[in-house]
Every structure is written in structure tokens, then in C-alpha cells.
Structure 1
């Protein structure tokens, strides 16, 4: 089977724009699905054997219908050269056989252990998201850096801190790697800001993907959209399904099962296994899974999972075992060890930060709303105090009014370019207010 670029674009309904068609063809070449033949004017594209396997969705010579039944340690199996590991397609039974609250990827003793160390935040009875917001600045740096690092990002931790504080300020900050890190920050903030309504649902996952892949995909229409083209997995003989209807059906089934899982750690790990295994998006599948795995932890005020100390090699091996063997044991080891390190880190940070201020927790939403109101109105310091006092007269009990004004003033004094997103402010709104507030 062969097609020219115009024929490929015309095969879609509606037809693809020329640039979009060329971008998709370039991607298919990069993952080994097709090859380019001929001179410029008469060039055409043909499927490779790898591409034929993916599109056929049928077991053929050399393509396993089910994952290998490894009788050896999965690490030993994965050490074999690729040519000794026969290609395997998407095994839907791996998803269908999982029964929420009856099947468990994490044994009971593991779940109990994770609950014990995760609850050391001491905030599990507070409103959803209290603990994650409490350590927000450190969490933004840690999770953005570690998740990006697992994608091969070469920014150091210090460079990541500087980037998140200063934004895109120099040439390197405009790079693909910098954008990936900044996208993580935006995606984490999205989860924290929408903590009361975020869920394992279509809208949350698609928007999370759009934030994580913004300005990173050649085809912008693929941001926040299920894929309609084949993809390949580097260093693996696993061939994800390429049928759009099947991708959509399995994606919906993953969400439906995830929503039913009651244990937050099982829910988190289920997402880390099944989302990348399906590969529902053109790119960014593992990034989505790592961030959405934190949602049930955020919502229950458990210590977050920031993948501190996880090596790229161990994580990759864990995912390859899922892809080729449907074996979750290696990834489970990574998950548990990563969570143990994360809880140790944030227990220390919380001790340094101290207990949350009960007054700030009580008026958290009101403080945030008034901070945003002051900034959007571009109030001077004097105008801000007058506005806060007027609002407190109407919206705060008499005994708390003075403290409410004082605390909100403290928040305004500490507002900077590294934290204004917590108050749902746009960069232009913050910049205009900041210049006036500081007399620039």
C-alpha cells in the first residue's frame, strides 16, 4: 500500500490541511511506520512491515496476540535483544479482566503500608487539596523536574527552580525542554485549582494532556485529543492499537474502572499502568499518568508522589514489563519506593514549614478571591486596604475582620511571579498590578 501526501490528506473526512498531513507523515516516518520513496515531485509513502503489523490488528507471523508468559525474572526477559522479543499488540483482556475493588495491582500489605506513611501529613481530615497547597511551591519544582527528567529532560534541579521562578527569560528558556517543565507547572496548578471537581473523567484527562503538551506537538490539534494515527514505543517490541474506535472505547473503560476504585493508591497505580499501556495520545501518555496518579492523593491530603530519586532506567524497565508482559511487578517496585522517598521528603518540609494556619485555612477561598480582586483592579496599597476593609465589613465575622485584612495584606506582600497562578491570575494582570504596587 502506498500513497502520496495529497492522497493521504484527502483520505480523511474532512480532508487534512497540507501542513497537518505532512507533519503526520513526518511523525509516522520517525517511528518507523512508513518510508518515503522517490524524488520530490513523484515521492510517495509506503507502509513498513512494522506499520503493517500495527494497522492489521491481527496476529501474523511473528506478532503475538497475547503478552509473553515469562517464566524468568522480567528483567532477564527485557535484557534480551529486540530481535529475540517478538512483537506483541495491545491485549484488551489485561484491562477488561481488572475488576475494581476486587482485583488489585497493589497487595493489601502494600496498600496498608502506603496509607500509614502517606497519612503522616496529619491533614487527611482537612478540605481536599489542603496539604498539596501547603507544600505547593516545593511540589511544583519537584514534580515538574522529576517527571520531565523521566522523559530525558536535561535541566538540572537548580535550573528548573530558576525557570519556574523567572519564566521564559532567556534563549534556553524557550527550548523544548523548558516548555516541558513550564507545562508541568501549569498542569499541576490546574489539578490543585480544580481539586474539588477534578476526577478520572474525560474533561480532566484531556485538559491535563493539553496543558502538558502545549506547544510541544507539531500538530496543535493533537493537544487534548485522542490519537487517530499509529504510534511506536522506543526500545520495545510492543505495538499499541492503531484503531481510533478501539482507542476511544478502551480510554472510556479505563476512566470508568478508575472512577470505581476506592483505594487512592490502587487508583493512582492503576492509572500509571493502564494509561501508558493504551497510549491514547500522540505523545505525553506517561506524563499524563504520572500527574493524574497524584489526583487521589491530593484529594485525600496524602503525601504526593513526586518521583524523587526514581531512575529513568528503573522506570523504563517497569513500563516495558507492562507493555510486553502485562507484568506490573517492576513498576510496582518503582511506585512503592518512589512514594517512600516522597513521604520522607515532604514530612521534613512540613516540619520546616510548620503547622497550617487554621485562620488561613478557614478563610482560604475568601483570601484568594480578595487578592485576585485587588490585582485585577490594579489597586495601590492604600486602595487595597480600603477595599479589603469594606469587604470584611460585609463578608467576615466581626471578631475576625482585622486579622482577615492583615493576613490578606501579607499575602499581597508576598505575591510574586512564581506564585500568582495560585490566585487564578493571568500574567498580564499580575504584571500590570506588580508594576504599580512596586512603583515601577
Structure 2
């Protein structure tokens, strides 16, 4: 969309002051401009898809991204409740439907190759280094997304030296250590894992261990209703429906042949379904790396995606069924982190040695 001028933005902003009320050119007399000037700017807003004509007046286009951003910036209790939409998953046809655009898939494919032309043995050695780096990077970033305030360096010393950082509660420490165990499981078994019930349950069991009062909810589909503090979205709450939806998710996830589309499908739909009582986003962040590990591609550590972009992207999918915000954030962040992993491969292939902090 063409960038708005300052005056066009001011006009558009005024519509949000009374979003349910249509406004005419006369309502902008306070701007002190000719009616034809205001009319020309409003027409530009209509052409940009931001406003809809309504008789001789205009109203905000509630299908626009601008409206979505404004609406989701409000307190959740000001928005209507939104139920699970079965068509989002039901209409998705693996290898025919795509959440990522052709341009995004091309960019991800170009970024993800980290082989560097090395021989098979050296290539395996370099990729092992990548997974060792992922263990620290993803543990750090995913723990931060769970509001555990731990630095990358403290994460590294905890994982490699067992030194507990100051300031963490027992629960926060458990979240970090669970990430370590779950990502180690990915490192050791990722080439053989599938996005099916058994392996997803195993990942969930590791990432949520000792964090739920009900042990029967660990590595199992939830039997309780879940609700969010920051969203009006309501996931499936019928146990029979949830089981069917989860099985449908697993079947479609495993049928996707493109590893980037497959990873993004997991990133998007697993939190949307909310199959587990807790730890859904954590499980999705780890499980989406399965396709990357199976194909020896650069993994996704979440180090380069802004927390706000990630959460907003999920919120837009929860309440509006729109995935393109998260797709854009994922594509940009993946390219950044993949570049670092390529540099790591080049370093290892050149004979570089990577040791622990203590040297």
C-alpha cells in the first residue's frame, strides 16, 4: 500500500475516534482545508482499502489490516468473543494450500541451506555444532517468551556448566531446564521424529515436566477448558472435538512436503488448537524445528523475532484467522538467524574450534 501523507493519516485517525460512526467530508471542516482537498484525500483512503463509501459518507473498512491492528491494540474485553473456526484447518490441503507465499518460500529456501559445500563427514560435524548452538539459543529465547528473565550468557553457563543464575524462582529454573531437556531430545532424535501424536506428546512431556499440578495432563490432550487473559479467542472445549482436531492437525502436518511450510504450519496451528492444558506455544516452538533438523536446514531459534511481533501474529490468527503478520515476522527473523548459522558452518569447515566459556 502506498504510504499515507501526514494529512491523510490525520484524517484516517479521526475515523478511529468514533469507529462505528460514518463521517462525511463536512466532518473535517476543522482541518481548515477546501472540501475538494479533503474529498481527494478520502478518495485515496478508499482506494487504499482503508475506508468504505456509505452513501455520501465513509466508514472504516473493518476487513483492512489497519482496522485489525487498531482492534487488537485495545483491551481484550472491548472485543467480541471469537470461537474456534474449523474451516481454517479443515480447508487447508497439504501441498495445495500454502500459508507462506512463493516469495517467502524462495527466501526461506535460500536462507536455510547451511551445508556450505562441505564433504559429508565435515557437513555432519558442522551441523552438530549448529544444533549445539540451537540448544542455547532456543532455550534462551523461548524461556524469555515465557517471561523468564534470563540472559543468553546465563543460559549458556547453566546448560554447559550447571551454574544456576541468580534471581530465578524454582518454577522459572524448571522452565529453562525443561527447554534444555526437550531441545536435547530434538538434537538426539530429530532426524527420526514425526509431527504425530507420539512425538508431540514426548516433546510436551519434556517441556512441561513438573510444571503442572495434574500429572495426567503431561503429554496428553487436555480435558479442561482453556481461556486467555490477552485474547477473546476460545479454543475447542469439547474433548471429542479436540481429539478429532488434533488428529486432523497431525495428519495434515505430516503430509506437508515443504519443510518451511511444514514448520510454519506447526508454528501457527498448534497454538491455535491448544491441544494441551499448558505449554502449547513452547511445544510448537520446539516441534516446528523437526522439519529443519530432518532436512539439515538452519533451525529457528526465535532469537531474532520480536516478542511483540510473535504474539501479535498469533493474536491476529486467533481472532481474525489471518496468518500473514506471523508469516512476515517469521520469514524476516529466519533469514537473520540462518545467516548466523551459515557463518558458524563456515567457521567449523575452516577448522575453527568452539569451546565452552571456560576455554
Q: Give the TM-score normalised by the residue count of structure 1.
A: 0.62
* Partner residue of 1:216 out of 211, 218, 223: 211
The match for 1:311 is: 306
Alpha-carbon offset, residue 158 of structure 1? 1.4
Contact 1:131 1:301 in 2 (8 A): no
Alpha-carbon offset, residue 75 of structure 1? 1.8
Contact 1:129 1:300 in 2 (8 A): no
Structure 1, unpaired ranges of 5+: 1-67, 358-413, 419-440
* Partner residue of 1:273 out of 258, 265, 268: 268
Structure 2, unpaired ranges of 5+: 1-60
* Partner residue of 1:114 out of 108, 115, 119: 108
Distance in 2 separating the partners of 1:210 and 1:287: 11
Cα deviations across residues 291-316 of structure 1 (Å, max 9, x unaligned)? 11111111111111111222221111
The match for 1:196 is: 191
Contact 2:158 2:165 in 1 (8 A): no
Deviates more, 1:333-342 or 1:223-232: 333-342
Distance in 2 separating the partners of 1:130 and 1:296: 19
Alpha-carbon offset, residue 125 of structure 1? 9.2
Distance in 2 separating the partners of 1:147 and 1:123: 31
Alpha-carbon offset, residue 356 of structure 1? 8.3
Change in 2 beyond 3 A, CA 1:326/1:134: same
Q: Larger Rg: 1 or 2? A: 1
Change in 2 beyond 3 A, CA 1:69/1:206: farther
* Partner residue of 1:341 out of 333, 336, 343: 336
Contact 2:126 2:348 in 1 (8 A): no
Contact 1:132 1:192 in 2 (8 A): no
The match for 1:238 is: 233
* Partner residue of 1:90 out of 70, 84, 88: 84
Q: Does 1:149 align with 2:149?
A: no
Change in 2 beyond 3 A, CA 1:301/1:335: same
Q: Does 1:352 align with 2:328?
A: no
Q: How does 1:1-400 map to 2 (within 5 A)?
A: 70-73=63-66, 74-122=68-116, 132-167=127-162, 169=164, 175-354=170-349
Alpha-carbon offset, residue 250 of structure 1? 0.5
Alpha-carbon offset, residue 123 of structure 1? 6.7
Alpha-carbon offset, residue 139 of structure 1? 1.4
Deviates more, 1:112-121 or 1:202-211: 112-121
Alpha-carbon offset, residue 275 of structure 1? 0.3
The match for 1:10 is: none
The match for 2:18 is: none
Distance in 2 separating the partners of 1:123 and 1:203: 35
Contact 1:129 1:195 in 2 (8 A): no
Distance in 1 separating the partners of 2:149 and 2:205: 22
Change in 2 beyond 3 A, CA 1:130/1:282: farther
Distance in 2 separating the partners of 1:323 and 1:164: 34
Distance in 2 separating the partners of 1:338 and 1:177: 26
Cα deviations across residues 206-233 of structure 1 (Å, max 9, x unaligned)? 0000000011112122110110000111
Change in 2 beyond 3 A, CA 1:298/1:78: same
Distance in 2 separating the partners of 1:236 and 1:91: 15
Distance in 2 separating the partners of 1:124 and 1:259: 30
Aligned residues: 293
Alpha-carbon offset, residue 131 of structure 1? 5.2
Q: Give the TM-score normalised by the residue count of structure 2.
A: 0.75
Secondary structure of 1:194 counterpart: helix
Distance in 1 separating the partners of 2:158 and 2:165: 9
